[in-house]
Amino acid sequence: MKAHDGIYLDGAWRPALSGEVIDVVDPVDEQVIARVPAAGAEDVDAAVRAARAALPGWAATAPAERAARLSALRDALAARKDEIAETVTAELGAPLAFSQAVHAAVPIAVAGSYADLAARHAFEEKVGNSTVFHEPVGVVAAITPWNYPLHQVVAKVAPALAAGCTVVLKPAEDTPLVAQLFAEAVHDAGVPAGVFNLVTGLGPVAGQALAEHPGVDLVSFTGSTAVGRTIAATAGAAVKKVALELGGKSANVILPSADLAKAVNVGVANVMSNSGQTCSAWTRMLVHRDQYDEAVELARTAAAKYGDRIGPLVNAKQQARVRGYIEKGVAEGARLVAGGAEPPRERGYFVSPTVFADVTPEMTIAQEEIFGPVLSVLRYEDEEDALRIANGTVYGLAGAVWAGDEAEAVAFARRMDTGQVDINGGRFNPLAPFGGYKQSGVGRELGAHGLAEYLQTKSLQF
């Protein structure tokens, strides 16, 4: 697989000072497919300096010109869409059709949406006797995970550039190749040197050096709650802005009036998609006790269809972690109706599509984010019970409600402590604010709300 042996710094690919490398592994056959630099603290420092030096010029660039660069970036990504899909398939293991439809297509749409927003946003407004300017926050550290590797990069870098911020990106060590493709696209789009910089590297080395760097004004992080907590504490001590997109344990609430078969089938597909490595996945299915047995049977049948169609997990550590959760589910008394902890293949980091029935709300598999193809089906007594269960975790990222009547579903959704709810299978909207209540995070990504995260106001009184 094609890879750059440098970091993208101040408009060019340059060798990392650290001299260390990361092996990129194909999770399907466990073979090393490429090597990229593992940047150290000195490399991160050079990247932050480049971003800081480029900030005044980019911040002063007219929004129309920033919009033109983002539009060119969208086009540069679109021109590489096949290469992007093949790269994500190689380093994440996602089936090619899914990489094309989601991992390549969604970030292209999001980049386009920010070209549009940069052109239309009112960076100046009148409030009574004041003129309020929306100014860039400054140098942004973007630290991203591997599960939607290009989407998560674009969801941070595109609004940051639209706002007039400059960026240092530290992508996940498992998926650096698509981040390098992104840097090529930024270069081809004519974004000035230093405005965007890429340092590939390990989380506790390059990631930590970036999050702690005094030259960074805002840290935008997506990943585990444990790392998010540390980053927030460090940023808090430095009185630095922070945006966190963390885990989820979202509820799929099927009310008695719903089309049960449709709700269960879409619910299972939602969890199995991307092999369950989706922070917003509806991993808890809540079903009324009178429909419970029928729903479990429908979920079992649906899961069986995914047998060979889902890809592996990203790496051996994630595979071991997910298998550990399945074993824990069995040990705590949940009933396995599909899949199990035994890997379905000898080679590759695969886990079988797994469904648990008789899951109670306090069980570990109903409380913690598993990040694999594992669905828990829970029984509720009445609507109040369903609401208590739905809201009964530390998370609040997404969710779903199904009902015969849309108004009934909306009424329930309004009582859920969560940032997004899909009504009767509503589709993903790249312009809708995405982000968490409770411990699912701080701040919002995508659309106009995502742009606002990278802006600060200055009011002039007359």
* Interface residue list for ligand NAD (CB under 6 A): 143-145, 147, 170, 172-173, 203-204, 207-208, 211, 222-224, 227, 230-231, 245-247, 279, 318, 321, 369, 371
Whether 245 is catalytic: yes
Name the residue type at position 354. T
- CA 14 to CA 12: how far, in whole Å? 6
DSSP codes joined into one string, 237-289: HTT-EEEEE-----EEEE-TTS-HHHHHHHHHHHHHGGGG--TT---EEEEEG
Q: What is the DSSP letter of 445?
A: B
User: Shortest gap between Cβ of 209 and ligand NAD (angstroms)?
Assistant: 8
Whether 165 is catalytic: no
- CA 276 to CA 371: how far, in whole Å? 5
Query: By C-beta, is 256 or 372 nearer to ligand NAD?
Result: 372
Q: Are 194 and 53 in contact (CB under 8 A)?
A: yes
Catalytic residue (one of 184, 279, 408, 453): 279
Residues 6+ apart with CB under 8 A from 255: 288, 383, 386, 401, 402, 403, 404, 408, 409, 412
Query: By C-beta, is 227 or 403 nearer to ligand NAD?
Result: 227
Name the residue type at position 201. G
Query: By C-beta, is 191 or 235 nearer to ligand NAD?
Result: 235
Query: By C-beta, is 251 or 287 nearer to ligand NAD?
Result: 251
Instruction: Find the angle CA(332)-CA(286)-CA(339) to the nearest 5 degrees.
Output: 50
Strand segments (E) across 45-185: 124-127, 130-136, 139-143, 166-170
- CA 143 to CA 222: how far, in whole Å? 6
Query: By C-beta, is 66 or 249 nearer to ligand NAD?
Result: 249
- Strands 241-245 and 251-254 come out as unpaired
User: Shortest gap between Cβ of 187 and ligand NAD (angstroms)?
Assistant: 22
- CA 85 to CA 330: how far, in whole Å? 36
Query: By C-beta, is 227 or 374 nearer to ligand NAD?
Result: 227
Structure tokens at 4: 């750059």
Instruction: Find the angle CA(133)-CA(446)-CA(201) to the nearest 5 degrees.
Output: 100
Query: By C-beta, is 173 or 408 nearer to ligand NAD?
Result: 173
Positive or negative, the Cα torsion across 135, 152, 248, 252?
positive
Catalytic residue (one of 91, 245, 369, 453): 245
- CA 142 to CA 155: how far, in whole Å? 10
User: Shortest gap between Cβ of 289 and ligand NAD (angstroms)?
Assistant: 30
Catalytic annotation, residues:
245, 279
